[in-house]
């Protein structure tokens, strides 16, 4: 605690001033991270050992890794406050007293919430619980809860589709990489639409076996894009022999998106470059979208390894070819990299992501980035499309594709829409 003055009148701590500490921790003597009479480390150690010890006051061996993990947190006071939440403290104490297993099954019994998901990830990060695909795990729990609340006839049909189509596809995908939140959300919405469709048929006095194209068209008329989520189920039902052949034409939104003009685009760019009150994450993501036509998905998945810093340049790799950033954007990126992350109550296994997520060892989600941009008046999709038009009008499609990470066909289409033609550009450059 800085509560004294040195000989030059500068505010310093007691040891630097050469006087006895009046505000030091009663246990270890430090003046850092004080919480009342104790420092953050001593307070956390006392609180954590109380929760993680058996009735005979010995630390439960299965929770030792979790304790050691907590003690590496930059700000111990944050971890101490987190441990006070009843769901966390009660569960840890039950595990320590062998009233509950130290397992994922124990956490499955708790009411799902972001806090419990965070708790699970920290236990995994500490090595206390085995690593699992959190999104896939939470998705299966969600579907089981939904099915248990449905009428038996509906539940039976949806469960068959879920197990034979959705779950099998997700497990195949999970073998390659973890399930993404956007994919889990899309599947959840698909099940909601199927449930609503079956309810609609029941209310109109028919069943899936007897449904007609007229019934389907009537239902699809309720929303513009419902058929996009219903098509997979209808096709499966036909293959399974529980529904006739039906069509579910894909539809786009009823109202087209408003295009962003070049003047609007550069006004947003100027604001992001100059407004230092904005968080560096939203400034960088906004600039990556507005200048380099990046999607929110690609921004969210950028890794620290994609950035190269040298004395003369700052480059970032969106695709195969690295991009040299303009000095103004490079400066924001360097500031972002220098910011310490002290609020987290977990220790990352390794620094991986350029934009960390709220959950341990995850990157920020696309939906969160979208919300951040919309909060400052930037519509992500029109912004990306405006940047794509500008890039395609000034560079050959092949260079655009290699630089910003899109297919050559997409880059060619953008070039055509922008009115640019690069027919004589050589394939080998």
DSSP letter for each residue of 167-195: HHHHHHHHTTSPPPHHHHHHHHHHHHHHH
The pLDDT assigned to 429 comes to: 41
The pLDDT assigned to 121 comes to: 92
Same-domain check for residues 164 and 114: no
Same-domain check for residues 271 and 379: yes
The pLDDT assigned to 383 comes to: 94
Q: Summarize pLDDT for 148-190 with one digit per residue, the tens.
A: 999 999 999 999 999 999 999 999 988 898 888 888 999 999 9
Q: Summarize pLDDT for 329-339 with one digit per residue, the tens.
A: 999 999 999 88
Last residue of a domain, one of 90, 125, 160: 125
The pLDDT assigned to 424 comes to: 46
Same-domain check for residues 184 and 268: no
Sign, Cα dihedral of 321, 324, 329, 332? positive
The pLDDT assigned to 177 comes to: 87
Last residue of a domain, one of 64, 93, 125: 125
Does 189 reside within a domain? yes
The pLDDT assigned to 55 comes to: 95
Same-domain check for residues 43 and 23: no
DSSP letter for each residue of 199-267: HHHHHTT--TTT--HHHHHHHHTT-SSHHHHHHHHHHHHHHTTSS----------SSPPPPPPHHHHHH
Residue numbers of the chain with a pLDDT score lower than 50 = 1-2, 342, 423-429
Give the Cα separation of 92 and 103 in Å (integer). 11
| Domain that includes residue 9, residue range | 1-28
Same-domain check for residues 314 and 408: yes
Same-domain check for residues 115 and 152: no
The pLDDT assigned to 114 comes to: 87
Same-domain check for residues 266 and 414: yes
Q: Which two tokens stand for residue 363?
A: 């990157």
Q: What domain count does the chain have?
A: 4
Does 426 reside within a domain? no
DSSP letter for each residue of 384-404: HHHHHHHHHHHS-HHHHHHHH
Of the candidates 326, 293, 361, 335, which has an alpha carbon nearest to the alpha carbon of residue 122? 361
């Amino acid at each position: 605690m800085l509560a004294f003055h040195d000989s030059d009148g500068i505010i310093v701590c007691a040891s630097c001033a050469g006087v006895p500490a009046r505000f030091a921790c009663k246990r270890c003597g430090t003046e850092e991270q004080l919480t009342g009479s104790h420092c953050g480390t001593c307070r956390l150690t006392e609180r954590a050992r109380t929760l993680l010890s058996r009735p005979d006051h010995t630390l439960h061996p299965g929770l030792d890794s979790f304790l050691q993990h907590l003690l590496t947190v930059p700000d111990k006071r944050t971890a101490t406050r987190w441990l006070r939440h009843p769901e966390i403290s009660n569960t840890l104490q039950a595990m320590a007293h062998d009233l509950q297993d130290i397992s994922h099954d124990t956490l499955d019994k708790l009411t799902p919430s972001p806090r419990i998901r965070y708790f699970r990830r920290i236990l995994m990060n500490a090595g206390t619980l085995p690593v699992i695909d959190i999104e896939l795990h939470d998705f299966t729990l969600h579907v089981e809860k939904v099915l248990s609340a449905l009428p038996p006839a509906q539940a039976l049909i949806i469960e068959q589709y879920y197990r034979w189509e959705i779950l099998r596809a997700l497990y195949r995908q999970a073998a390659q990489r973890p399930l993404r939140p956007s994919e889990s959300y899309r599947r959840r919405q698909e099940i909601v639409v199927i449930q609503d469709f079956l309810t609609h048929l029941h209310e109109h006095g028919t069943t899936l076996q007897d449904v007609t194209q007229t019934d389907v068209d009537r239902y699809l008329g309720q929303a513009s894009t419902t058929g996009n989520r219903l098509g997979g189920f209808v096709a499966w039902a036909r293959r399974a022999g529980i529904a006739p052949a039906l069509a579910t034409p894909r539809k786009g939104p009823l109202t087209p998106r408003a295009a962003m003009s070049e003047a609007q685009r550069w006004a947003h760019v100027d604001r992001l470059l100059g407004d230092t009150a904005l968080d560096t994450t939203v400034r960088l993501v906004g600039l990556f979208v507005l200048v380099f036509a990046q999607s929110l998905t690609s921004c969210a998945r950028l890794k620290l390894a994609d950035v190269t810093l040298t004395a003369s340049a700052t480059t970032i790799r969106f695709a195969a070819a690295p991009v040299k950033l303009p000095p103004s954007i490079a400066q924001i990126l360097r500031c972002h990299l220098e910011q310490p992350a002290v609020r987290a109550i977990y220790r990352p296994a390794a620094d991986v992501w350029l934009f960390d997520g709220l959950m341990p060892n995850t990157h920020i989600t696309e939906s969160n980035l979208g919300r951040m941009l919309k909060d400052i008046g930037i519509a992500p999709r029109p912004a990306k499309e405006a940047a794509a038009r500008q890039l395609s009008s000034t560079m050959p499609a092949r260079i655009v594709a290699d630089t910003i990470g899109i297919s050559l066909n997409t880059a060619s289409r953008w070039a055509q829409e922008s009115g640019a033609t690069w027919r004589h550009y050589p394939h080998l450059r």
